[in-house]
Structure 1
Amino acid sequence: MRFKLAGRKRAEGADVDPRRWSERAEARLRSLTYRQKIAALVLAAMVLYGGFIALDGLGVRSWLDSSFGETPDLKYYQERTKVILNGGMLYRDLDIESPPLINYFLVPAQLLGGEWWSYEIYLSLFPLLTGLVIYTVMRRWDDYYAFLVALIYIANPYLLPDATWGIQDEPIVAFIYILPILLFLHGYRRTAGAVTAAGFWTKFLPIVLYPVLLIKLDSVKEKLINIGVAVATSLLIAAPFLLAAPMEFLHFPSYYLLEREGSAGLSVISLLSKGGLHIDGLIGAGLTVAVLLLSYYLIHRWKLDIWRGAMLTTVMFLCTYPMAHLNYFVMLFVFFLVWAVRDKWLIVRLALMYVLLLFSEGFSLNSVPGMATEWNWLIALPMMLANIVLMADTTRICLKTKCFLDREPQGERDKKGEGAPESA
Structure 2
Amino acid sequence: MRRSYELRILGVFVGLFVAYLLIAHFVLEPMGYYGMPEQPRFADPWIARAETIVSGGLLYRDVFTTTPPLINFLLIPPVLLSGLFGHRNPWATLSFMTYFSLFNLVAAYALLYAAKEREEGYRHALYFLLNPLTFGNSLLRRQDESILVFFFALALLFFLHGQHWRASVAVGLTLLVKLSGALMIPIAFLRTRDWKYLVIPAAVFGLVFAPFLLAAGESAVFWDVSRERTQHPFQFRGISLGALWSRAHEGQPPISLTVYSAILMGGVAVILALIAWKPRGGLEDLTLLTTAVLLLSPKLHCGYFSLLALMMAPLLRKHRITGVYFLFGLLALLADIYKWPVENFPVAFWLMVGVFGLLVWAMVRLRWSYKEEPSGYVKQSVV
TM-score, reference length from structure 2: 0.84
Counterpart of 2:104, as a letter, is P
Q: Of the candidates 242, 256, 264, which is equivalent to residue 237 of structure 2?
A: 264
Larger Rg: 1
Aligned to 2:246: 273
1:94 maps to 2:71: no
- Structure-2 change in CA distance of 1:67 and 1:174 (3 Å): closer
- Structure-2 change in CA distance of 1:67 and 1:186 (3 Å): closer
Aligned to 1:229: 200
Aligned to 1:384: 352
**How far off is 1:348 after superposition?**
2.0
- Structure-2 change in CA distance of 1:161 and 1:231 (3 Å): closer
Aligned to 2:177: 202
**How far off is 1:118 after superposition?**
2.1
Distance 1:237 1:320 in 2: 31
- Structure-2 change in CA distance of 1:354 and 1:191 (3 Å): same
Counterpart of 2:214, as a letter, is L
Q: Of the candidates 302, 308, 330, which is equivalent to residue 332 of structure 1?
A: 308
1:48 maps to 2:13: no
CA contact (8 A) 1:162 1:168 kept: yes
Distance 2:166 2:125 in 1: 22
Distance 2:34 2:169 in 1: 43
Per-residue CA deviation, residues 108-135 of structure 1 (Å, 9 max, x unaligned), is 2223344322222211111100000111
CA contact (8 A) 2:138 2:145 kept: yes
Counterpart of 1:147, as a letter, is Y
1:318 maps to 2:294: yes
Equivalent pairs, count: 362
Q: Of the candidates 167, 180, 189, which is equivalent to residue 192 of structure 1?
A: 167
Distance 1:237 1:300 in 2: 31
CA contact (8 A) 1:131 1:150 kept: yes
**How far off is 1:107 after superposition?**
1.3
CA contact (8 A) 1:102 1:203 kept: yes
TM-score, reference length from structure 1: 0.76
Aligned to 1:84: 53
**How far off is 1:303 after superposition?**
2.3
Counterpart of 1:65, as a letter, is G
- Structure-2 change in CA distance of 1:43 and 1:51 (3 Å): same
Distance 2:44 2:289 in 1: 34
- The residue correspondences of 1:93-242 to structure 2 (distance < 5 A) are 93-114=62-83, 115-138=92-115, 140=116, 142-218=117-193, 222-223=194-195, 225-242=196-213
1:300 maps to 2:300: no
Per-residue CA deviation, residues 199-221 of structure 1 (Å, 9 max, x unaligned), is 22211111122111111124xxx
Counterpart of 1:118, as a letter, is S
Greater relative contact order (Cα 8 A, min sep 6): structure 1 or 2? 2
User: Counterpart of 2:238 in 1: which secondary structure?
Assistant: coil
Q: Of the candidates 63, 67, 79, which is equivalent to residue 30 of structure 2?
A: 63
- Structure-2 change in CA distance of 1:359 and 1:66 (3 Å): closer
- Structure-2 change in CA distance of 1:79 and 1:125 (3 Å): same
Aligned to 2:87: none
Gap runs ≥5 in structure 1: 1-32, 412-424
CA contact (8 A) 1:208 1:292 kept: no
Aligned to 2:88: none
Distance 1:392 1:61 in 2: 30
**How far off is 1:300 after superposition?**
1.1
- The residue correspondences of 1:244-259 to structure 2 (distance < 5 A) are 244-254=215-225, 255-257=230-232
CA contact (8 A) 1:267 1:323 kept: yes
Counterpart of 1:63, as a letter, is P
- Structure-2 change in CA distance of 1:310 and 1:188 (3 Å): same
- Structure-2 change in CA distance of 1:285 and 1:102 (3 Å): farther
Counterpart of 2:108, as a letter, is G
Distance 1:200 1:312 in 2: 20
Q: Which runs of 4+ in 1 moved over 6 A?
A: 58-61, 66-70
User: Counterpart of 1:257 in 2: which secondary structure?
Assistant: coil
Counterpart of 1:350, as a letter, is Y
User: Counterpart of 2:63 in 1: which secondary structure?
Assistant: coil
Distance 1:74 1:384 in 2: 21
User: Counterpart of 2:59 in 1: which secondary structure?
Assistant: coil
1:289 maps to 2:289: no
Identity %: 21
User: Counterpart of 2:58 in 1: which secondary structure?
Assistant: coil
Single out whichever of 203-212 and 250-259 deviates more from structure 2: 250-259
**How far off is 1:66 after superposition?**
6.8
Aligned to 1:406: 374
Aligned to 1:416: none
Distance 2:147 2:241 in 1: 26
Per-residue CA deviation, residues 50-84 of structure 1 (Å, 9 max, x unaligned), is 4544776x776752437977764266111111111
